[in-house]
């Protein structure tokens, strides 16, 4: 029988009983209305960014409209940098973010490994569901007790803030990493144990390298959270010299007036580093979440 010369959009299959051929057509029609709506909604996301950019280049008197500025006041960025002491605030945010990411990867992934490999035991199942349930507790509910406790432990500083990011992110990270670890064949670990490897060696030499996509996802989500967070540094940090960028930017708001152009210029400067990181790493965020959530 000669190969079929039909178009790729048509596939034929021989029926089991009568020898007749059934022809199936693949639907390649595009829903242009739905595509247009999705494209329009995607463009709407750019509206706040455009408003922020044009406002940052205006004077306080002309701020508040979508029109282009009459004069491009680029000095707003320099003035905002001086007003909030941007280099110092950026350094504080960078220290908190980098330390939180490193400690989160070193601790949360190991906890996820221990839970994933012992889900048949009651204690580890309870630990897993305890941290998953903690994800549904609103932060304002524990905000004031947490601030009081950190003060009594003398951790109302950068170190305490880093520890909180590491601990409070455990529920989400455990949910993401556990499903992925359980998809890794146990036979790899059994072969390593035969060669005399300990549990610690198996995790760092075998499991941790295989968790590359998940580690990237956890690192990016933690970095976005620590860099942009305002509420937790506000209730934890007591020394003004340790202020992160969101806290330093609060100087633009007062009871009587707000310098919107200078404030928006500061917001753009703070957003730029983490936005660049996210643009280049967003595929790992989506891919890692999907791999971790579905075994």
pLDDT per residue as tens digits for the range 32-43: 888 888 888 878
More confident residue, 255 or 211: 211
Give residue 95's pLDDT: 95
Give residue 44's pLDDT: 84
In 3D, which of 170, 171, 175, 184 has the Cα closest to residue 212? 184
Q: What mean pLDDT is reported for the chain? A: 82
What is the reported pTM? 0.78
What is the token pair recorded at 97? Answer: 């973010």
- Measure the CA dihedral 32/33/34/35, to 10°: 40
Residues above pLDDT 90, as percent of the chain: 27
Give the pLDDT mean for 244-251: 86
Choose the weakest-confidence range: 93-107, 237-251, 281-295.
281-295
Residue 20: pLDDT over 60: no
Give residue 241's pLDDT: 86
Residue 16: pLDDT over 60: no
Nearest-Å Rg of the Cα atoms of the chain is 26
- Measure the CA dihedral 72/75/81/84, to 10°: -90
Quickly state the pLDDT bin for 292 (edges 50, 70, 90): very low
Choose the weakest-confidence range: 24-28, 233-237, 275-279.
24-28
More confident residue, 294 or 140: 140
pLDDT tens digit sequence for 167-189 = 999 999 999 899 889 888 888 88
> Quick check: 226 and 97 in contact, CB under 8 A?
yes
Q: What is the DSSP letter of 286?
A: H
In 3D, which of 291, 264, 272, 282 has the Cα closest to residue 52? 264
Between CA 68 and CA 216 the distance in angstroms is 39
- Measure the CA dihedral 51/56/57/58, to 10°: 80
The angle formed by the CA atoms of residues 147, 151 and 154, to the nearest 5 degrees, is 140
- Give, in order, the Cα–Cα distances in Å from 138 to each of 86, 119, 134, 142, 168: 31, 27, 9, 7, 11
């Amino acid at each position: 029988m000669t190969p079929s010369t039909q178009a790729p959009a048509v596939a034929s299959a021989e029926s089991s009983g009568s020898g007749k051929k059934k022809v199936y057509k693949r639907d390649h029609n595009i829903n242009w209305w739905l595509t247009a709506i999705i494209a329009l909604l995607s463009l709407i996301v750019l509206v706040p960014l455009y408003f922020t950019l044009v406002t940052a280049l205006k004077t306080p008197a002309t701020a508040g409209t979508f029109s282009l500025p009459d004069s491009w006041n680029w000095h707003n960025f320099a003035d905002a940098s001086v007003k909030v002491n941007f280099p110092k605030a950026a350094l504080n945010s960078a220290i908190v973010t980098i330390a939180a990411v490193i400690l989160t990867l070193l601790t949360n992934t190991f906890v996820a490994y221990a839970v994933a490999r012992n889900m048949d035991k009651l204690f580890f199942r309870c630990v897993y569901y305890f941290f998953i349930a903690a994800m549904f507790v609103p932060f304002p509910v524990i905000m004031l007790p947490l601030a009081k406790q950190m003060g009594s432990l003398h951790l109302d500083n950068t170190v305490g803030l880093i520890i909180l990011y590491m601990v409070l992110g455990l529920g989400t990270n455990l949910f993401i990493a556990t499903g992925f670890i359980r998809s890794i064949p146990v036979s790899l670990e059994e072969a390593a144990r035969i060669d005399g490897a300990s549990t610690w060696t198996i995790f760092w030499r075998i499991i941790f390298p295989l968790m590359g996509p998940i580690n990237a996802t956890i690192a990016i989500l933690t970095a976005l959270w620590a860099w942009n967070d305002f509420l937790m540094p506000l209730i934890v940090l007591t020394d003004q010299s340790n202020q992160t960028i969101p806290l330093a930017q609060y100087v633009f708001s007062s009871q009587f007036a707000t310098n919107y152009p200078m404030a928006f210029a500061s917001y753009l400067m703070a957003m730029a580093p983490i936005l660049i990181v996210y643009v280049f790493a967003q595929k790992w965020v989506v891919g890692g979440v999907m791999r971790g959530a579905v075994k």
